[in-house]
């Protein structure tokens, strides 16, 4: 189990091992775009991981290729639908755009 902190709201969610960030966010009724329903095809679930990157599954080729195609991607970027919580450390992410809940 890991604690996921969602910025900018600061809301925290307990996330079980093996759950994607997208599933955790949607399960907590936090709005995040996910146009392709988690297929790593749309890039709309792009988020920044501020802390706890090692507590997430590694970036696979599909995710990497999709991230490469997104403007504004940085070293902290992940696709929420592809990043699975490993349960080893707590994680802090930052939502972007319409999903930020501001
Ligand atoms: S929901 Fe489309 S890439 Fe994650």
The domain defined by 2-98 folds into Ubiquitin-like (UB roll) (3.10.20)
| pLDDT at res. 89 | 97
pTM of the model: 0.92
Q: Mean pLDDT across the chain, nearest whole number?
A: 93
Q: Residues 8-31: pLDDT tens digits? A: 999 999 999 999 999 999 999 999
The protein residue with its alpha carbon nearest to ligand 1, atom 3, reads 40
Instruction: Check if 44 has its Cβ closer than 6 Å to any atom of ligand 1.
Output: yes
Looking at the DSSP assignment, which residues form a beta bridge with residue 34?
A: none
36 CA closest ligand 1 atom index: 2
Strand 2-7 and strand 11-15: the pairing is: antiparallel
Dihedrals φ, ψ of 18, to 5°?
Answer: 90, -5
* Cα–Cα distance for residue pair 29/53, rounded to 1 Å: 23
Residue 3 Cα, ligand 1 centroid: separation in angstroms?
Answer: 22
- Is any atom of ligand 1 closer than 6 Å to the C-beta of 26? no
Domain ranges of the chain: 2-98
């Amino acid at each position: 189990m890991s604690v996921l902190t969602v910025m900018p709201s600061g809301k925290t969610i307990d996330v079980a091992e093996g759950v994607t960030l997208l599933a955790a966010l949607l399960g907590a009724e936090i709005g995040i775009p996910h146009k392709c329903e988690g297929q790593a095809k749309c890039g709309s679930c792009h988020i920044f991981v501020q802390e706890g990157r090692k507590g997430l599954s590694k970036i696979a080729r599909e995710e990497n290729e999709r991230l490469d195609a997104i403007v504004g991607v940085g070293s902290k970027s992940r696709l929420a639908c592809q990043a699975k919580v490993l349960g080893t450390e707590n994680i802090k992410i930052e939502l972007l755009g319409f999903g930020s809940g501001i």
